[in-house]
A and B are shown apart, each in its own frame.
Chain A
Amino acid sequence: MSFYLVQILNALSFSMLLMLTGLGLSVVLSLLNFVNLTHGSSFLLGAYVSIWWLGSGAPWWLAFPVAFLASALAGLVLERFPFRQFYTRTHLMQVLLTYGLSVIFADLMRWGFGAQIASPELPEILSGVIFVFDMPFPIYRLFIIVFGAVLALALWFVIDRTIWGAVVRACVTDRRFVETLGLDTKRIFTIVVAVAAGLGGLSGALGAGVLSAYPGLDEEQLILALIVVVVGGLGTFRGTVLSALLLGFTMTFTKVWIPEMSNVAALAIMALMLVIAPQGLVARKVRQV
């Protein structure tokens, strides 16, 4: 019983990471119709930055905002050049551009942060375990669950309940009409791309405590984020959350029962979804303008 409870908590913490990574990718894809394959690089950059920060002796909790800012800044620069020039190009051109960039970033990070596996020195408050009945469970994973849930709630609030969220939602429908209301959509896009990259970095910082950081993690995370987006459906917050939970639970429990099949299970879900419901778990309402 307590074994399964611990696995459920594991699945939840994994789902949170999937969700945060998937959200950034999803919002850029639905708003700009832009396939950003450097999202995994944002994740890995955030992971490295937080590990470096946690080893530096500075206040530990700043590691997360710093990772967010580092990746957001990189996203901001990339949006200006060369992303912006590719928004109206075909998806294939976007894939070629951003995949190429992600390979370059992988090499740059290997050069800057080394090729060995790096793990963060977690502060005392986040290390150790608590006992769920009689099973030990890492405090850090509990931290991921709580932090992720709070962040998701805050994001939902911004997107669904504030006027700036409404502007972003309106841009998804038709950016040209948003422009005629006197709003600079180019600037809105820059901000959204930067925040999405920042979210990637933040998930990397959170994930580093369980996954560590190493060359190749960027690609692993990118694939997972893509699966989350495909399964969840574009332009829906709820879809991304549901899909992250579905994948998090499936992958965690496959790991428990048939460990070598975990990735197979995730990809099988994606293939199945593509066949039976290509628009995703939560289909966006069709435009009615």
Chain B
Amino acid sequence: MTAQAFSAQTATAIAVSGLSAGYDGVQVLHDISFTLQKGEAVALLGRNGSGKSTLATALFGMEPQVSGQITIHGADVTGWASHRIARQGIALVPQGRGVFPDLTVEENLDMAALWSRKQPCRSWTRERVFDSFPRLAERRRFHSASLSGGERQLLAIARALLTQAQTIVLDEPSEGLSPRAIEEVIIGTVGQLKSEGYTLLIAEQNMTMALQLAERVLILDHGTLVHDGGSAAFLADEALQREHLGL
């Protein structure tokens, strides 16, 4: 079943209800509930240590879950192994890029296309990636450890696309990037994905950047979801920004 087929079944991309998660006996997320409609771009904001990354990885079953339910493209994936969740059409662009440094650009991409290689209609192929991102094509035989920060981010995004996912979770995509790379890779490429109808959840410290892409804002404070609303209203509410983001 392709990602497109999933999206036909339901208008909801991600539905989280009553999610609590943690590790080493410490609870990091407390009773989180929210939904992302298909095609929405949502910013997940919060101070350092507020639980953004934990929430991003918890969606992929990578964190020990205490309670709650996660639904991805209509399927209840609570307790599933990460690879099965990924096959529901959701992809992660991990914090720090998470590309494999010992592997070449090509190998990183081929790996991402591996599970879906037998699917009849794939919207992304290696050729399309190289057409769309010529910089990756130039460096296809380079080890990804030798790429610049922006190129690695691009590779991580391309990898997510090659899994044929329709929903992409980006964990701190702007972290450690130069303003120019943020402009090109994040605003440019991710903005393009948004206009193509991808569902995006962007966990970010860089509020200005996130709000350029997102129309809705979720705020985490000490592992609790304290705000869920439109970007414009959030931008106007300075008291809210001060209280939960320390701005």
Contacts and interface: CB of A to CB of B under 8 A. Distances in A.
A169 B91 CA distance: 21
A112 interface: no
B111 A179 contact: no
A163 B110 contact: yes
B82, B91, B103, B107 pick with most chain A CB within 10 angstroms: B82
A163 B107 contact: yes
B82 A166 contact: no
Contact of B103 (A169, A180, A182): A169
B23 to A, nearest CB: 13
B92 interface: yes
Interface in B71-100: 81-83, 86-87, 91-92, 94, 96-100
A169 B60 CA distance: 22
Contacts of A173: 100-102
B97 A289 contact: yes
Interface in B34-93: 60, 62, 81-83, 86-87, 91-92
B30 interface: no
Nearest to B98: A177
Given A181-B111, A181-B163, A183-B115, A174 B98 contact: yes
A182 B100 contact: no
A166, A180, A185 pick with most chain B CB within 10 angstroms: A180
A184 B111 contact: no
A176 interface: yes
Given A163-B111, A166-B107, A288-B145, A179 B101 contact: no
A289 B86 contact: no
A289 B101 contact: yes
A170 B100 contact: yes
A185 B111 CA distance: 12
Contacts of B86: 179-182
Nearest to A177: B98
B140 to A, nearest CB: 13
Given A166-B110, A170-B111, A288-B145, A182 B98 contact: no
A285 B102 contact: yes
B161 to A, nearest CB: 11
B92, B102, B116 pick with most chain A CB within 10 angstroms: B102
A94 B83 CA distance: 27
A288 B145 CA distance: 7
B38 to A, nearest CB: 20
A167 interface: yes
Given A183-B114, A185-B83, A176 B107 contact: no
B100 A176 contact: no
A285 B144 CA distance: 13
Contacts of B98: 174, 177, 289
A170 B112 CA distance: 11
Contacts of A287: 101
A181 B114 contact: yes
Interface in A254-289: 285, 287-289
Interface of A: 163, 166-167, 169-170, 172-174, 176-186, 285, 287-289
9 contacts: A167-B114, A170-B103, A174-B98, A174-B100, A180-B94, A181-B115, A182-B115, A183-B115, A289-B98
